[in-house]
Amino acid sequence: MAVTTATTKIDPILTTGAEDLTGPLTETVQIASHLIWDAVAANLPRDLHWQFVLVTLVIALSIWLIRDGHGSRDADGRERKAHLLQFLLPKDIYTHVSARVDIWLWVTERILRPLWVVGLLATVGPSTESAVIDFLQWTLGATPAIAVNYWWMLLYSLVTLLSYDFVFFLIHYTMHRMPALWALHKVHHSAEVLTPLTRYREHFLVGPIWAAGGAFSYGLAGGLFAWLFNGGIVAATLFNIGFFALVFGFNGSFRHYHVQFNYPRSLSLWLHSPAMHHVHHSYLQQHWNKNFAAVTSIWDRLFGTLYVPAKDEYTPWGIGPNTQSEYRTYWQNTVGPFRDWYKMLRGGKSPQAGAAKNVD
């Protein structure tokens, strides 16, 4: 006769002690903490991601060592010798009212971004890409379906960068030349000190313009290469990041940093150095309307707006002593464009006013 035995499963909780209990308040706080952390991580500016921060600090430290403490600027835009902490994180810059306004303008833009970014990126880019493909098929016929290799992918990345840089140049140039658009872009130039967040210091109405321009430029390059390769090509990557996007990212994080990073003049004729963007933010007359492109010097050379600064050249930042007081606080920068437009309608204008005289 077969004998069966019963086995009894013992609850682990009974052997290890009572299960930890979590009260409703603790659970709510934990959930809220996770949501806040996820929101911050998703919206953290690219220049504050650890990779870019690390590279920025390494380059800055190298400059400090090579130049024996020289190479950084103070809140007035003058070069000075500084000890290491002052060189990397100067108190007069990061406690400046302009740096605080950077933060709040960025927060405002991030809050409003969902209202427009999805619609623009989902329509302008694909529509441009489809229009380019249709035009090429109409004028040149069916796709040649070129076989893809890494060199073609690298060329696609380069053309995309040049396309973006050219569209950026045109938009930027127009913002400086048209009074109605300068009233908006003036908010970015009202920064009296430069910090990594100054890159995102824009009036909330400017974001859609830059987003549409970027999507348009990507659509142009995407449409051309989709036709050439029958849609089977992607951009070349390095460390899982677009190759030239990575180069631009490292350069871009230094463009709005108070430490001077000059390239040799021969290289500056082809690529914008961060020091050249310091010039763009200067309110001195000899620096007006210079260095509009984002990455290369090609378009500024073609249109006569290139300016390669001398080593340690004085570049005071802002919109000039005559009008700076009108664009100093967060509220002034938020309502300023509307005030300028009202003045324009009343017969005035919104020029790039308030600059100082030329300084040798």
**Tens digit of each residue's pLDDT (9 = 90 or more) over 313-332:** 999 999 998 889 999 999 99
Q: Where are the domains of the chain?
A: 97-345
pLDDT in tens, 154-209: 899 889 999 999 999 999 999 999 989 999 999 999 999 999 899 889 999 998 89
pTM given for the model: 0.84
Q: Is the pLDDT of residue 351 over 50?
A: no
Q: Is the pLDDT of residue 302 over 50?
A: yes
Q: Which amino acid is at 29?
A: V
pLDDT in tens, 34-79: 655 555 556 677 777 777 788 888 889 999 999 999 999 999 999 9
Angular region, 74: left φ>0, alpha ψ -120 to 50, beta rest: beta
**In the prediction, which pLDDT does 341 show?**
92
The residues near 318 (Cβ < 8 Å, ≥ 6 apart) are 98, 189, 190, 191, 192, 281, 283, 324
Which among 49, 59, 45 is positioned nearest to 258, based on CA atoms? 59
To the nearest whole percent, how much of the chain has pLDDT over 70?
78
Q: d(Cα 84, Cα 224) in Å, to the nearest integer?
A: 48
Task: Specify the higher pLDDT residue, 265 or 120.
Answer: 265
**In the prediction, which pLDDT does 350 show?**
47
**In the prediction, which pLDDT does 255 show?**
87
**In the prediction, which pLDDT does 254 show?**
82
Average pLDDT over residues 240-250: 63
Q: Is the pLDDT of residue 283 over 70?
A: yes
**In the prediction, which pLDDT does 286 show?**
92
Residue 13's pLDDT band, with cuts at 50, 70 and 90, is very low
**In the prediction, which pLDDT does 65 show?**
95
Most confident of 20-29, 169-178, 348-357: 169-178
Q: Is the pLDDT of residue 138 over 90?
A: yes
Q: Is the pLDDT of residue 126 over 80?
A: yes
**In the prediction, which pLDDT does 111 show?**
86
Which of these ranges, 57-61, 301-305, 314-318, 344-348, has the smallest mean pLDDT? 344-348
Q: 3-state SS of the chain? A: CCCCCCCCCCCHHHHHCCCCCCCHHHHHHHHHHHHHHHHHHHHCCHHHCHHHHHHHHHHHHHHHHHCCCCCEECCCCCEECCCHHHHHCCHHHHCCHHHHHHHHHHHHHHHHHHHCHHHHHHHHHHHHHHHHHHHHHHHHCCCCCCCCCHHHHHHHHHHHHHHHHHHHHHHHHHHHHCHHHHHHHHHHHCCCCCCHHHHHCCCCCCHHHHHHHHHHHHHHHHHHHHHHCCCCCCCCEECCEEHHHHHHHHHHHHHCCCECCCCCHHHHCCECCHHHHHHHCECEHHHCCCCCCCCECHHHHHHCCCCCCCCCCCCCECCCCCCHHHHCCHHHHHHHHHHHHHHHHCCCCCCCCCCECCCC
Mean residue pLDDT of the chain comes to: 84
Judge contact between 195 and 94, C-beta under 8 A.
yes
Residue 120's pLDDT band, with cuts at 50, 70 and 90, is confident
